[in-house]
Chains A and B, each alone.
Chain A
């Protein structure tokens, strides 16, 4: 009975975090993007500086008609948003935010494997949406998603493998327990590769060719309306939270921080995640969208060699210090 309660409480907490943090990131994006462009952003919804803008957006989306195109593959079309969104919820369960046993939804021994595999599933939602919509723009978007997934899954895995080698474990809390501050400069290249590849996998600008609203009208999401479209958007922001959390845990030392971290480890994790989320928004505002071939070139000629070099470096240092 007590175990069941424990599990239920953990799942509820993870679910609440899953619902709240993406909205916080979304609202931050509204505001940060606006101010980076010399604007104010939403100012009315909720009264104080438009804090409830995304709530209002949610209400709006919920009121819209849920249209399924006549030629669409109905079941797949309706299932795709859930496939896009749920993996991020599952990943969030395994991300530790503090050193204690209570600060993680569920300790998964093969944490890195689980996390990366499930994150890869999220992209399938876009593929399903692109194919099932029976729309040429959606199909183009889906194909671009597939190409992007193929190109960027590899450097992401290699970068994560480097950390796993350094720590000698694939468990996320295990990696954090083995963390020392000098891992930061040691794994910095891997961190950059992981973060950039993660951005590409989330289809965030400047890697948003699969949704490229000005070229292929939101790609795989062209035919979606209402709540299902909102779920895709939510998946994108949940993806930001998950990516930033994972980068924090794998490369930035998670709950470790200067001035001691006794009991306040989760603050460090959240702080680092927030800073990374800000960087994600910052990059979106600053850079234009890459061309499709530039995207492939970046992955195959830059990120993968860098990730391999990082693995080599990790191996050398690991042998040297042992």
Chain B
């Protein structure tokens, strides 16, 4: 039984007491951790969930946020307007106009699902957190207030080193590459007598064909 225990050094009597005194004395010389909040604003971490801001130009009143909200704290009113035809003989269009957008922050549980679900990037997290009220009804904030908070939304934080490229950037880059390749292919054949790009020039392997019908000359397959 006692063999399994690690060998204990002979302890000096009172060493534990001295250690305790040393800990408190060392702590006294260190910087305190107290946050002096009302005097000094806290340094919030990136992506802090303070309040939800609304960029209402992006809102199409699709109601996805209101429907996904787990505690139903988003109120949206809207009406339809008819837009006259843009061109002569065209068809009239109808579009939704936002009348009211309110979030009841006494119900909101800051899950962020509305922000995740918004397909048009109309909702954003703002780190603003000082909006306490003395009456719970005043915690329902209307669109003008939500718009004000929009201006406190910080720029998105930089990606971590080695992170995957954002999907939007990747898609845009792919489109730009494609366009550049097409233009390069067009300039390589100065007289485009045959506009059909399905027959790629074997002398220019970089000029990938935009036509996916030929598997060997696809954007990836051609280089392989």
A residues neighboring B (CB under 8 Å):
32, 34-40, 43, 282-283, 285-287
Contact = CB atoms under 8 A, between A and B. Distances in A.
A35 B32 contact: yes
Contacts of B21: 282-283, 286
B36 A40 contact: yes
Given A35-B27, A36-B24, A282-B25, A287 B32 contact: no
Nearest to A37: B27
Interface in B23-40: 23-25, 27-28, 30, 32-34, 36
B32 A34 contact: yes
Interface in B1-59: 17, 20-21, 23-25, 27-28, 30, 32-34, 36
5 contacts: A32-B28, A35-B28, A36-B28, A282-B24, A287-B20
Interface of B: 17, 20-21, 23-25, 27-28, 30, 32-34, 36
Contacts of A34: 32
A61 B28 CA distance: 30
Nearest to A43: B36
Nearest to A35: B28
Nearest to B29: A35
A174 B48 CA distance: 69
Contacts of A32: 28
Contacts of A286: 20-21, 23-24
B25 A38 contact: no
Contacts of A38: 27, 30, 32-34
Contacts of B20: 286-287
A38 B20 CA distance: 15
B27 A40 contact: no
Contacts of A36: 24-25, 27-28
Contacts of A282: 21, 24-25
Contacts of A283: 21
A29 to B, nearest CB: 13
Contacts of B17: 287
A32 B29 CA distance: 10
Contacts of A287: 17, 20
Contacts of A43: 36
B30 to A, nearest CB: 7
A37 B20 CA distance: 12
A229 to B, nearest CB: 28
Contacts of B27: 35-38
Nearest to A32: B28
Contacts of B24: 36, 282, 285-286
Nearest to B23: A286
The 9 closest A-B pairs by CB, nearest first: A40-B34, A36-B24, A286-B20, A35-B28, A36-B28, A286-B24, A285-B24, A38-B33, A286-B21
Contacts of B23: 286
A282 B25 CA distance: 8
A193 to B, nearest CB: 15
A34 B27 CA distance: 10
A80 B195 CA distance: 109
Nearest to B19: A286
Contacts of A285: 24
B32 A39 contact: yes
A158 B20 CA distance: 29
A45 to B, nearest CB: 15
Given A287-B17, A287-B20, A40 B32 contact: yes
B165 to A, nearest CB: 43
Contacts of A35: 27-28, 32
A222 to B, nearest CB: 29
Nearest to B39: A43
A37 B33 CA distance: 9
B2 to A, nearest CB: 27
Interface centre among A36, A39, A40, A282 (most CB of B within 10 A): A36
A62 to B, nearest CB: 28
A34 B30 CA distance: 12
A14 B23 CA distance: 37
B17 to A, nearest CB: 7
A38 B28 CA distance: 7
A286 B17 CA distance: 8
Contacts of B33: 38-39
B22 to A, nearest CB: 9
A36 B30 CA distance: 9
Nearest to B21: A286
A35 B28 CA distance: 5
